[in-house]
Structure 1
Amino acid sequence: MKNIIITGTSRGIGYELALQFAKAGHNVLAISRKIPEALIENRNISCLKIDLASGEGLERISDFVEKTWKTVDILIHNAGALILKPFAQISAEEFEYIYKVNVFGVAALNRVVLPYMPKGSHVVTVSSMGGVQGTMKFAGLAAYSSSKGAVITLSELLAEEYREQGISFNVLALGAVNTEMLQEAFPGYEAPLSPKQMSDYIYNFALTGNTYFNGKVLQVSSTTP
């Protein structure tokens, strides 16, 4: 039984992951701006309503871990924000918001949780194929894809900084998954994988991936996008 923190659990991949880990008997702390009833009702899931973009409420996470778990075995950065808009039309506020969720929120949560992570623990960051150098890029995703590239580099650097402490950092760069967020940005586009299918992969990787990888970026995509 492991103690697992997952962000972005209100829907999609994060929601499925929280239920999957809980069903397997693990303790889950689900963090999101909205809390689904199914998560609240699960006895293995604790929920905190926190907006990572604001930076407020992070102390509630450390308080929870200190009083309830004492240690965290797995941290999954799944929360994400996406905007599809030509670069010239993206406001400074919109660009900054994407980075607050996709990069600054990840860094801030790492600062809070890492002191509670023992040797052998695993930090998994969900990124995007659009953030991987040399992959196909798409117009309108300047803020999103560049932020996903930034969080990849951050994870690689932290893998080095925490290597001696035995904490592993890996990134999963996902291709298209048929989430609500994708449908909101690209109405009508049918991605080949469902949130449940992708959560199956992330579930197993979070539990065992650090046995084989550290400081790595794995491309998880069945299509070019």
Structure 2
Amino acid sequence: MKDLGLWQQFFYYFQHNGMYILGKFNQHFLISIEGVLLAALVGIPIGALIAHYRRLSNPVIQLANLIQTIPSLAMLSILMLGLGLGDQTVITTIFLYSLLPIIQNTYTGLRNTSPAVLDASKGMGMTKWQQLWMVEIPLSVSVIMAGIRNALVVAIGVTAIGAFIGAGGLGDIIIRGTNATNGGAIILAGALPTALMAIVSDLVLEGVQKLVSPKGLSES
């Protein structure tokens, strides 16, 4: 294998370790998506809350922004002290990093809902809860999805770093390549699928974003 060129080595490694790479790919994606989904379950309600109680918006967003400024490796190291090695620490890190884009986009989307539309829904006898679920969130879903897309792309990169604390995923292959004498091809075998995952995930979510957006907004 040493006598082959870099790309020949890459295809050789991929050919002989395809199932191993696929397993790491699946593990990587599941870790990333789990952290983002947890953040969405928490972040969207928080974003809706601060959109209706604006005095809470600055401290909440500033706190989420403060978390975002902590380097990912430092965050992993800090959480590892309490959660130990493994994927739970990485999922928690992804959860924390994903809060800012999801909360901020939810807040922005709901705050930008047309007052005329809200007045019309209020005139129809809707409660505030009905306004939120039947009017505000459907009109803001495109902005909210944009925050989730951003969070997932970041999460995929964080998961790769998480291999340093035993979380697995494609980062394991990258680390194996850095420890090998001629590991360029092995590094590519981990890095290229990671990049592909980020690109494809973003494109898929973009399609979902267009699908769930109200037709009038998506066409404008």
Q: TM-score higher than 0.5 here?
A: no
Q: Could you say which structure has the larger radius of gyration?
A: 2
Higher helix share: 2
TM-score, normalization by structure 1: 0.25
Higher strand share: 1
TM-score, normalization by structure 2: 0.26
